[in-house]
Amino acid sequence: MEIRFLGHACFELTEGDARVLIDPFLTGNPQAAVSADEVEPTHILLTHGHGDHHGDTEPIAKRTGAAVVAIKEIAEELSEAGVENVTDPNLGGTVTFDWGRVKLVPAWHTSMTPGGVANVPAGLLVHIGGRTIYHLGDTALFSDLKLIADRGGPIDVALMCIGGHYTMDRFDAVVAAELVGAATVVPCHYDTLPPIETDVQAFKADVESRTSSKVEILEPGGTFTL
């Protein structure tokens, strides 16, 4: 399977005929590797409702007919907006597809739906093609990352925010990498805007000296193959 980084916190997981797009913020994303018109997902998964994650979900879903998984309050708004194939789990819930499954797990952050309803954010445990990919979403460091990874794991790849300011910074993210224990960590949510600029090479060096995880730095548009 392939993991393609499309910029900020947006990734596309490809396994066979399944193209699973996570947090499709492309329009207005200075890192975007593609435009919202260029993606052809079969499924869209959302961590939370902030604009830099929810992004182009509605137009992409309407154009492609992709199945969308979003936490309840966001799912309801997407359905009301005319998106046809929406599933609405809450934290702890698992949604199964022919390619595998996704479980919503806690993340420590805030969230608002595009319509202004306060709700809670999520991380995503994605089991696809016999692998487990953990998109941490936007989160601060918290010790239950270990519990989540132990229950969902072993984690093959962790997609991890490191930019600070809106999420944990690269120093806390090293501890997060220890707690999650993924074979590979792919950093994200950094360098998109001035407040979240960070030294990704220093993060890689710290993680690889202090944990058994490898760090794969992807440029926007870059692909990691498992």
State which residue, 120 or 128, has the beta carbon closest to Ni ion: 120
Cα distance between residue 57 and residue 46, in whole Å:
9
Q: Find the shortest distance in angstroms from Cβ 129 to Mn ion.
A: 27
x-or-dash pattern for Ni ion, window 135-154, by CB under 5 A? ---x----------------
- The position carrying tokens 């220093």 is 202
Q: Is the preceding omega at residue 187 within 30 degrees of 0, hence cis?
A: no
Q: Find the shortest distance in angstroms from Cβ 51 to Mn ion.
A: 8
Residue 170's binding partner among Ni ion, Mn ion, none (Cβ under 5 to 8 angstroms by kind) is none
- Binding status of residue 169 toward Mn ion by CB under 5 A: no
Q: Find the shortest distance in angstroms from Cβ 191 to Mn ion.
A: 13
Distances, alpha carbon 191 to alpha carbons 43, 157, 172, 208, in Å: 27, 21, 17, 21
CA angle 168, 148, 193 (to 5 degrees): 25
Piece of the chain touching Mn ion by CB under 5 A; list 33-41, 54-62, 88-96, 131-139: 131-139
State which residue, 25 or 134, has the beta carbon closest to Ni ion: 25
- Binding status of residue 52 toward Mn ion by CB under 5 A: yes
- Binding status of residue 50 toward Ni ion by CB under 5 A: yes
SS3 label, residue 14? strand
Following DSSP, what letter does each residue of 116-183 receive, concatenated? S-EE--EEEEEEETTEEEEE--S----THHHHHHHHH-S-SEEEEE---SSS--HHHHHHHHHHH--S
State which residue, 52 or 156, has the beta carbon closest to Ni ion: 52
State which residue, 138 or 206, has the beta carbon closest to Ni ion: 138
Cα dihedral 130, 134, 135, 136 in deg (nearest 10): 170
Q: Find the shortest distance in angstroms from Cβ 80 to Ni ion.
A: 22
DSSP structure class, residue 37: T
State which residue, 8 or 43, has the beta carbon closest to Ni ion: 8
Q: Find the shortest distance in angstroms from Cβ 161 to Ni ion.
A: 9
Instruction: Please give the residue ranges that form the binding site for Mn ion (CB under 5 A).
Output: 52, 138
- Residues near Ni ion (CB under 5 A): 50, 138
